[in-house]
Amino acid sequence: MSRLMSEEGIRIDGRRWNELRPVRIEVGVLKNADGSSYIEFGKNKIVVAVYGPKEVHPKHMALPDRSVLRCRYHMLPFSVEERKNPAPSRREIEISKITREALEPALILEDYPRTVIDVFIEVLQSDGGSRCAGITAASVALADAGINMRDLVAACAAGKVGGRIVLDINDEEDKMGEADMPVAYLPNLKQVSLLQLDGKLTADEYRECLNLAISGCMQVYSIQREALMRKYFATDKRGGDEGGGGEEE
Amino acid sequence: MSVKKTTTIVEQLRRAQMSELLAMNKRLDGRGLKDYRELRIETGLIKKANGSALVSLGNTQVIAGIKVEVDEPFPDMPDKGLFICNAEVLPLASPYAEPGPPDEDAIELARVVDRGIRESEMIALDRLVLISGKKVYAVFADVSVLNTDGNLFDATSYAVVAALLTARVPRYDVQDEKLVKSEETIPLPINTIPVSITMAKIGNSIIVDPNAEEEACMDARITMATDEQGRVCAMQKGGSGTFSVDQLNEVASLAISLGSEVRERIRSSVASSTGGGANSIRSMTS
Amino acid sequence: MSKRYVLPGDLIVEGNPHLKPLANVIRIGDRLHATRIGIVEISQNSVKVIPLSGIYVPRVGDLVIGKVIDYSAMAWEVDINSCFLGHLPAQDVFGKEFSPGRDDLTKRFNIGDVIACRILNFDRTRDPLLTVADKDLGKISEGEVVKISPTKVPRLIGKRGSMIQMIEQLTRCRIVVGQNGVLVVTGVNKDAVHVAVKAIRMVEEGAHTVNLTERVKEMLQGVQVGR
């Protein structure tokens, strides 16, 4: 057995193979943003802001039939061991792209033609799986912004470490492990909107890993739900008030 | 900031035709859903490079060159050589391509191709060490896209793989902790041949090797690289749509079975290729 | 009936083809899903979700309060707190006889002016068309501008105007409520306006809580206004 996995199947940070790191999500953390969230996913600390739908500048970027979604995944210089140059790296550019493509299927962009929706993901402290944590938090921030969505997007990785398929790879497991497979999932529509793989898996391991990652996404999804419910409905413990929100004039 | 680019607009008529045909398991260019386009590989055409390959996949055409230098290893990997992969879409490759630094598509292309080669451990990087912790071979793979007609991922990957397989690098002798270049050249140490297979989802159909028109209509894309043992080594989903778990199982089996087919094609092309020079670019576009 | 809270993607009903999806509900196959955070309202033949977050999307007939941010020879551009810019044609103000050479737009509304207007036309393909041609519409020259989340406007108004009327009566202020979440409060003095704004904030923050009307009333009765 390797250093990453003990004889008893305990991982380097004390987790079992199917255990998620502690995840905490807060909604509405930035006053200026139309929607925002903060996530701690293991040692990841990430803040996300959503602005929009809003007017497009420059105007020629606007689309006549739908909103334009723009995403930026960015790591702060002090978020990693060695200072990171603040200019976007190739890795960040790629992650910005796959993040956008993971969120896009969940959004009903046709409802907001000629507008833009900006998603900013800032990694304050990074650990393994920051792209999944970023997508998870971004989906919550989009819901907080009140943008029409077909579903939330929950993301979680699975991988192969010390010869075993395990859930939610941390930093050390990512660096030393055999494979890392980040997955984003639309829980109600049962669709995968992000899938990447680094590392070798047999066909059977691939299926096992994909299913495990999706089960992780479902766990993340329930944490997303709790966070949103807490923000929007927590003070209402005894049912509704007379006015609710419906009636007018 | 990542933003979706407006690509070729496919006429609604053609789009309708495409989905009609797909429902009957056919495609506009006459291929079956699981057929890839004609693949031609020519190696050794650039004599100044340590290795080179010109690949055409239908009308998509790319050229890869390998340059090998002696460099210092990364401090955290003193006993590994370096492999660095770059890609660019040349301004001459399509009416939409523009000069400038690589955009997010080109960066994704390079990183996905790099991932397939790196994760499959195609090159035995531990055998590229000349003096441990001090001097290693650094292998640079640069790919330029000459003509775009969809599926740049596979064409680029095949070009880099073919160029690596045929590359020859100078042999160095170590004398008193110093490197002495010999006249002799040696091939790169190769463990396996990774093969990238890209598939697209249009409606509910999965098609292999999408061309530009199909890419403009696709909901989502997936690229999978497999090694000689039929293991999946790298994957990347792209596009604004999604896949179901069943579809992801289907694409994995396809990538494995088609991968071994293409691997044989690469192997035989590499073995027979003579390297005809610039004329071959003309002959390949016929 | 107990309330049902939903998040985007939540299944509301399955296998009932007679129910029509209205605001913030989509049909996927034979299932109706919510698209927003909100409260479900099911009637005999339709389902909607009252959203609890989100920007203002114009609807024809809405009264909105906007800020003039630009003008051309033919029209004013009005910020109506939405992703779409309001468009008020000069003809709406000057009439059919409007002549860009003769009539000076700035004589009526200038940049920075706050105006009450109605959405005359909007189909999402063009910017919403505004009108000020009705009583109580036009330039607002006094009062305090307050912004709240547009999704909280129905709660602020209350059933048949109960909430807003109560606040108005107890503070002796006048409150013009734009559906876009922009309000203008005018009162006998600064203190009265201050108390009214405090009440509005209370409603905004506690929009979904129990006995809100009672608590707002208590707060308002606890302070002496305008005496």
Query: Residue ranges of the domains in chain C?
Result: 4-51, 63-140, 144-226
Best probe of the A interface among C6, C168, C210, by most A CBs < 10 A, is C210
- DSSP 3-state assignment of C34? strand
Q: In the complex, which subunits touch B with 3 or more CB pairs below 8 angstroms?
A: A
Q: What is the nearest CA distance from A38 to chain C, expressed in angstroms?
A: 18
Residues 6+ apart with CB under 8 A from A30: A36, A47, A49
What is the structure's pLDDT at A2? 63
* Inter-chain residue contact B230 with A192, CB threshold 8 Å: no
- Positive or negative, the CA dihedral B127, B130, B132, B134 is negative
What band does B274 get if pLDDT is binned at 50, 70 and 90? low
Is a pLDDT exceeding 50 seen at residue B258? yes
Facing residue for C85 by CB, picked from A55, A189, A247 = A55
pTM: 0.85
Residue of A nearest to B252 (CA): A203
Which helix (H) or strand (E) element contains residue A199?
strand A191-201
What is the structure's pLDDT at A103? 98
Look over chain B and give the mean of its residue pLDDT values, rounded to a whole number. 91
Is a pLDDT exceeding 80 seen at residue B277? no
Put simply, the chain A residues between 68 and 97 with a CB less than 8 A from any chain C CB are none
Opening angle at CA C118, ends C116 and C124, nearest 5:
125
Facing residue for A191 by CB, picked from B227, B231, B244 = B244
What is the structure's pLDDT at A32? 87
Q: What is the nearest CA distance from A127 to chain C, expressed in angstroms?
A: 28
What count of other Cβ atoms lies within 10 Å of the Cβ of residue B190? 15
Q: Is A14 on the interface with C (CB under 8 A)?
A: no
- DSSP 3-state assignment of A220? helix
What is the structure's pLDDT at A241? 42
Q: Which pair of tokens denotes residue B248?
A: 């992801």
Residue of B nearest to A102 (CA): B240
Q: Which CATH architecture has domain A23-233?
A: 2-Layer Sandwich (3.30)
Q: Does a cis peptide bond (omega within 30 degrees of 0) precede residue A58?
A: yes
Facing residue for C51 by CB, picked from A108, A146, A150 = A146
Highest mean pLDDT among A140-154, B9-23, C120-134, C139-153: A140-154
Q: Is A1 on the interface with B (CB under 8 A)?
A: no
What band does B205 get if pLDDT is binned at 50, 70 and 90? very high
What count of other Cβ atoms lies within 10 Å of the Cβ of residue C159? 16
Cβ-Cβ contacts under 8 Å, B2 against chain A: 70-72, 93, 96-97, 99-100
What is the structure's pLDDT at B273? 63
What is the structure's pLDDT at C223? 79
* Inter-chain residue contact A249 with C160, CB threshold 8 Å: yes
What count of other Cβ atoms lies within 10 Å of the Cβ of residue C167? 26
Is a pLDDT exceeding 60 seen at residue C225? no
Facing residue for A243 by CB, picked from C11, C55, C158 = C158
- Mean pLDDT, rounded, for C172-179: 95
What is the structure's pLDDT at A145? 97
* Inter-chain residue contact A232 with C36, CB threshold 8 Å: no
Cβ B122 vs Cβ B194: under 8 Å = yes
- Which runs of consecutive H residues, i.e. helices, occur in B120-211? 152-166
Residue of B nearest to A184 (CA): B242
Q: What is the nearest CA distance from B280 to chain A, expressed in angstroms?
A: 33
Class of domain B8-285: alpha beta
Nearest to A94 by CA among B231, B96, B254, B223: B223
Residues 6+ apart with CB under 8 A from A115: A52, A53, A54, A55, A56, A62, A67, A68, C83, C84
Chains C and B: 3 or more CB pairs within 8 Å of each other: no
* Inter-chain residue contact C35 with A148, CB threshold 8 Å: yes
Residue of A nearest to B76 (CA): A175
- Beta strand C31-34 pairing with B60-71: unpaired
Cβ-Cβ contacts under 8 Å, A63 against chain B: 6
Q: Is A70 on the interface with B (CB under 8 A)?
A: yes
Opening angle at CA B236, ends B21 and A11, nearest 5:
140
Chains A and B: 3 or more CB pairs within 8 Å of each other: yes
- Mean pLDDT, rounded, for B207-232: 95
For chain A, residues with pLDDT lower than 50 are 1, 236-249
What is the structure's pLDDT at B7? 63
What band does C224 get if pLDDT is binned at 50, 70 and 90? low
Look over chain C and give the mean of its residue pLDDT values, rounded to a whole number. 91
The domains of chain A are located at: 23-233
- Over the stretch C5-54, which tens digit does the pLDDT of each residue have? 999 999 999 988 889 999 999 999 999 999 999 999 998 899 999 999 99
Largest CA distance in chain A: 70
Which helix (H) or strand (E) element contains residue A98?
helix A90-103
- Beta strand B60-71 pairing with B51-57: antiparallel
Is a pLDDT exceeding 90 seen at residue C2? no
Q: Is C18 exposed, middle or buried (0-12, 13-18, 19+ CB in 10 A)?
A: exposed
Q: Is A246 on the interface with C (CB under 8 A)?
A: yes
Residue of C nearest to A186 (CA): C9
Q: Is A62 on the interface with B (CB under 8 A)?
A: no
Pick the CATH number of C144-226 from 3.40.1280.10, 3.30.1370.10, 3.60.20.10, 3.30.360.10: 3.30.1370.10
Q: Which CATH architecture has domain C63-140?
A: Beta Barrel (2.40)
Q: Is A146 on the interface with C (CB under 8 A)?
A: yes
Which value does ipTM take for this structure?
A: 0.89
Q: Is B2 on the interface with A (CB under 8 A)?
A: yes
Nearest to B157 by CA among B220, B226, B250: B226
Q: What is the nearest CA distance from A56 to chain C, expressed in angstroms?
A: 9
Residues 6+ apart with CB under 8 A from B57: B36, B37, B38, B39, B151, B154, B155, B158, B209
Q: Is A32 on the interface with B (CB under 8 A)?
A: no
Give the span between the Cα atoms of C92 and B176, in whole angstroms: 91
Q: Is A229 on the interface with C (CB under 8 A)?
A: yes
Facing residue for B240 by CB, picked from A104, A186, A211 = A104
The CATH fold assigned to C4-51 is OB fold (Dihydrolipoamide Acetyltransferase, E2P) (2.40.50)
Q: Which pair of tokens denotes residue A188?
A: 């109600």
Cβ-Cβ contacts under 8 Å, A105 against chain B: 240-242
